[in-house]
Amino acid sequence: MRIVFMGTPAFAVPSLRALAGAHDVGLVLTRPDAVRGRGKRLEPSAVKAAATELGIDVLETKRITDDVMAVIRAAEPDVIVVAAFGCILPDAVLEAAPLGCVNVHASSLPRWRGAAPIQRAILSGDARAGVSIMRVVHDLDAGAYCRQADVEVGEKSCPQVMGELAELGARELLTALDQMADGTAVWTDQDESKVTYAKKIEKAEMLLDPAATALDNRRRVQTSLDAAPARMAVAGKGVRVLAARVAEEGVAQGEVLVRHGRVIAGCADGAIELLRVKPDGKREMEASAWAAGLHQSQLAWEHA
């Protein structure tokens, strides 16, 4: 099967690699090089790096112009596969391949259509997070799906859940394409009454809050990514919280207890223990190492 692949972040790479191992990927579209992560230099997207390694032609674009459409058509794809491309697709793309255009979407549709499905699942306390192989249609993430699978969330970090779903999505994608090719794929329309939307996570949502529950604050830490990190201020100094858990100790709301190398922050109904942190202007470290520099046994904390 000849494929045009569209994707940008690390989530899309397992799907690209799976396709390259089983089919003929003639062209990869991805977002242009950009300043990514914590560096100040231009970096290629994760998909561009993988495609270059695999020896696949890459076209970088922010939108689908007439010239881009000409390149897509020239590749003569049997199917177009999308995985977190980050660009609105015009109807011309959806009609450019005989088998249509399918998307590896990181949710159990119809729950969490939109930009940040994995983060919204974790932040909302969903027990499981899923992936769907769906047809791309004109409306946002509204197409029928033919494959779905999910993983347990538990206390896994967002990058952990993303990694698991990326691998799971790649496997489901290969099965879906086989079924599409032999005509056995069964497409299920989404139940519109169960639709929820996963809007982009804003930085303000990730700020830890003494007035919130311990569980809500822990979920903010779980959901945290570089673009919107979980932060707090201890004794007026900002710190990013990289890992935390709900603590058994009782600590007053807004207070921080430092004891035997442990750092425990009081919330509305209990407390969270900070496990790994990055104080502003310093390196990442275990909270126990950070605790050695906190010279008071009891401190106050607030929004960063």
Task: Please name the residues in contact with 90: beta carbons below 8 A apart, sequence gap of 6 or more.
Answer: 64, 69
Phi, psi of 17 (to 5 degrees): -65, -40
Q: Is 98 annotated in some ligand binding site? A: no
Kindly state the DSSP code that residue 147 receives in the 8-state scheme: E
> What's the CA gap between 1 and 19, in Å, rounded?
9
pLDDT 10s per residue in the chain (304 long)? 999 999 999 999 999 999 999 999 999 999 999 876 666 788 999 999 999 999 999 999 999 999 999 999 999 999 999 999 988 899 999 999 999 999 999 999 999 999 999 999 999 999 999 999 999 999 999 999 999 999 999 999 999 999 999 999 999 999 999 999 999 999 999 999 999 999 999 999 999 999 999 999 999 999 999 999 999 999 899 999 999 999 998 899 999 999 888 999 999 999 999 999 999 999 999 999 998 888 766 689 998 8
- Number of residues that make up the chain: 304
> What's the CA gap between 262 and 33, in Å, rounded?
41
> What's the CA gap between 207 and 236, in Å, rounded?
14
Q: What is the pTM of this model?
A: 0.94
Instruction: Please count the other Cβ atoms lying within 10 Å of the Cβ belonging to residue 236.
Output: 9
Q: Under DSSP, is residue 130 helix (H, G, I), strand (E, B) or coil?
A: strand
> What's the CA gap between 34 and 32, in Å, rounded?
6
Q: Is 288 annotated in some ligand binding site? A: no
Question: How far is CA 131 from each of CA 112, 145, 156, 188, rounded to the nearest angstrom?
Answer: 10, 10, 17, 14
Six token digits for residue 85: 């491309």
Q: Is 89 annotated in some ligand binding site? A: no
Opening angle at CA 72, ends 99 and 14, nearest 5: 70
Tens digits of per-residue pLDDT, 172-185?
A: 999 999 999 999 99
Opening angle at CA 24, ends 74 and 13, nearest 5: 105
Asked if 84 and 93 touch (Cβ cutoff 8 Å), the reply is no
CATH architecture type of domain 2-198: 3-Layer(aba) Sandwich (3.40)
Give domain limits for the chain.
Answer: 2-198, 203-303
Q: Is 45 annotated in some ligand binding site? A: no
- 110 preceded by a cis bond (ω within 30 of 0): yes
Looking at domain 203-303, what is its CATH homologous superfamily?
Answer: Formyl transferase, C-terminal domain (3.10.25.10)
